[in-house]
Amino acid sequence: MADRHNRDIDRPRAPLPEPLPVPTVDAHAHMEIVTDAAFDSKEVEAVIAEAKSVNVDRIVQVGYSAEQSKWCVAVAEKWNTSVLAAVALHPNEAPVVADLDADLKVIEELAQHPRVRAIGETGLDYFRTPPELRKRQQDSFKWHIELAKKTNKALVIHDRDSHDDVLSVLLEVGAPEKTVFHCFSGDVAMAKLCIERGYILSFAGTLTFKNRSIASRNRFAISCAGSTSRSWKHSGTDCKHCPRHGG
């Protein structure tokens, strides 16, 4: 299922870690990319079983297109004790789909499904989207925020090189009660602002990229750990897009 997000890169699978001490949710997974298989396949069953073997007993399968969001709902229906779904058009998809209105209609219908617990991933990505397409991307983000509020579901945000505009759109439209930044990539000041506003941040391998100096990485980690101590902590693997480390 190759697309504009380099999702066809053949990145080797990480070895299984030690089992986690408590049952844990992987809040951001793309199992169709890891398996390249049908929602009801043995391959998907194996991924769910492997996750369970290390105490990850729930997986949120996250959407990025109308067609793939149908896969998300189907897998959450099939594995209805271990998988939940999120549905959306990814910010890199929304500006380039052939019929945006038709795709948004599909997402709106899927969002009503009881196994769908979040709207995402949506947001802004100025790394991959040229300036002339950003208005379309912003409009899609706003539409998804409204859908999350209307359906009373969590909002899952993808934010790449667009921190200021993501924050201002959330203020302008009004963030849903549960707003999650997946693979948070902002700085300490942004993290603090998000926490003040009650957003949930997921920290992943992007924090360890080499272009952050060791000192700034350490300061960031310590500062975020302190800031989030009384707040939500959560993470998602984004299998297999979030890097496991910065190399």
List of residues contacting Zn ion (CB under 5 A): 121, 158, 238
CA of residue 76 relative to chain centroid, distance: 16
**Where does residue 234 rank: exposed (0-12), middle (13-18), buried (19+ CB within 10 A)?**
middle
CB of 30 to Zn ion, least distance (A): 6
Task: Closer to Zn ion by CB, 29 or 224: give it.
Answer: 29
Task: Closer to Zn ion by CB, 165 or 238: give it.
Answer: 238
- First CA to last CA across the chain, in angstroms? 26
Contact 187, 220 (CB under 8 A): yes
Which one-letter amino acid corresponds to residue 186? G
Distance (Å, rounded) from C-alpha 198 to C-alpha 182?
Answer: 14
CB of 69 to Zn ion, least distance (A): 12
CB of 160 to Zn ion, least distance (A): 7
CB of 247 to Zn ion, least distance (A): 19
Task: Closer to Zn ion by CB, 185 or 228: give it.
Answer: 185
Which ranges of 154-202 would DSSP assign to H, the alpha helix? 163-173, 188-196
Residues 54-91, buried b or exposed e (16+ Cβ, 10 A)?
A: eebbbbbbbbbbbebbbbbbbbbebbeebbbbbbbbbb
CB of 33 to Zn ion, least distance (A): 9
Task: Closer to Zn ion by CB, 121 or 165: give it.
Answer: 121
CA of residue 71 relative to chain centroid, distance: 16
User: By Cβ distance, which residue is nearest to Zn ion?
Assistant: 158
Task: Closer to Zn ion by CB, 128 or 219: give it.
Answer: 128
